[in-house]
Structure 1
């Protein structure tokens, strides 16, 4: 597989992102807004009728994208969208600020970016594309003024886990990319951090 490019999800690429996620919106109608919406809003969006399920999530991601705020990056194999990583300034992800297990130790720390999700179609998984998307996210955050890139991986102890459980990436993957992983002071959940620019 050859990835020609990893590109920002800009307004002109909305149709590509929509095609990539398909009718179910990636992970069960999530549309990669789980961390962008308050819990009550997100729960309501996926617990309505099957015909309506995920509709408001799709609209929320579309609104962010068409407003030009770049919610993440799209990988392309030729002209075909084939992968996604959600990376943006940490303040864009309202659920992080409210999360007991991931709440920032210093919410006022400047220029921190967060990487909250990867999504690959099943036939694209386990081929190294996640690492390529991670490299793209690092460069995008750095070029956009990020000073720290933070992520919230799962520790699989070097083994494998179902894709739906490791959508935030694995500790091993981030460590290989140079991140330092440490337990969250409140929950013990792994938090990965990489310095992008020296102070």
Structure 2
């Protein structure tokens, strides 16, 4: 029987964050900094700089994400936190035009990234990460969580194209569909 657990990403779990992010796909080079930066700032950074940015963010707290463990080994990551701290969100036109929530409201949180190590894909880790993220947001005082998942329409997609999560994962976790932002991308929310 496989045991899946989750923990918030703290400085003492830095090695686990790195293990979760570096198991295949873009996580190793992105370091989950993409949601934090404008395109211009993103293009001006290197992977080592992004790694240090994430390390500094985690050290400063509060934790910007959670780690999933499979039998004690770090296997996945989810970024969740106030939208006010994720600078790309208000700059993304399709999100800005779709949301009805003010961008200065710190009680509105967002899920912006999932990473699962290659050997653990297809095992339900994204669902566990999202469930734990909802609990974390609720206990941290969030009023509402938004997500911006991919609607696969039942088609196979490249793993690197699914870092926003899939619509099915969010629906199964109780999120409501608010609107389609563009074909294949949906804004969902969960009121806490």
Contact 1:85/1:119 (8 A) holds in 2: yes
Give, in angstroms, the shift of residue 24 of structure 1: 8.1
| Stretches of structure 2 lacking an aligned partner (at least 5 in a row) | none
TM-score by length of 2: 0.89
Deviations 1:39-94 (A, max 9, x none): 1121122xxxxxxx411111110000011221100011233111111111111100
Q: 1:45-194 residue pairs with structure 2 within 5 A?
A: 45=45, 53-103=46-96, 104-105=99-100, 106-183=102-179, 189-194=185-190
For 1:160 and 1:176, the matched residues in 2 are separated by: 19
C-alpha contact 1:14 1:66 (8 A) present in aligned 2:
no
Native 8 Å contact 2:25 2:159 kept in 1: no
Report the structure, 1 or 2, having the larger helix content. Answer: 2
Change (3 A) 1:129 1:141: same
Distance 1:24 1:69 in 2: 27
Tell me the equivalent position of 1:22. Answer: 22
1:20–1:143: structure 2 CA closer, same or farther, 3 Å change rule? same
Provide the rounded CA distance (Å) in 2 between the counterparts of 1:26 and 1:13.
20
Pairing 1:37–2:37 present: yes
Give the distance between the partners of 1:166 and 1:25, measured in 2 at CA. Answer: 10
Give the distance between the partners of 1:74 and 1:28, measured in 2 at CA. Answer: 15
User: 1:49 maps to what in 2?
Assistant: none
TM-score between the two structures when normalised by the length of structure 1: 0.86
Contact 1:73/1:84 (8 A) holds in 2: yes
Change (3 A) 1:111 1:157: same
Structure number with greater CO (CA < 8 Å, separation at least 6) is: 2
The offset of 1:11, in angstroms, is 1.2
Matched position secondary structure for 2:114: strand
- Distance in 2 between the 1:68 and 1:107 partners? 21
User: What is the aligned length?
Assistant: 188
SS in structure 2 of the partner of residue 174 of structure 1: helix
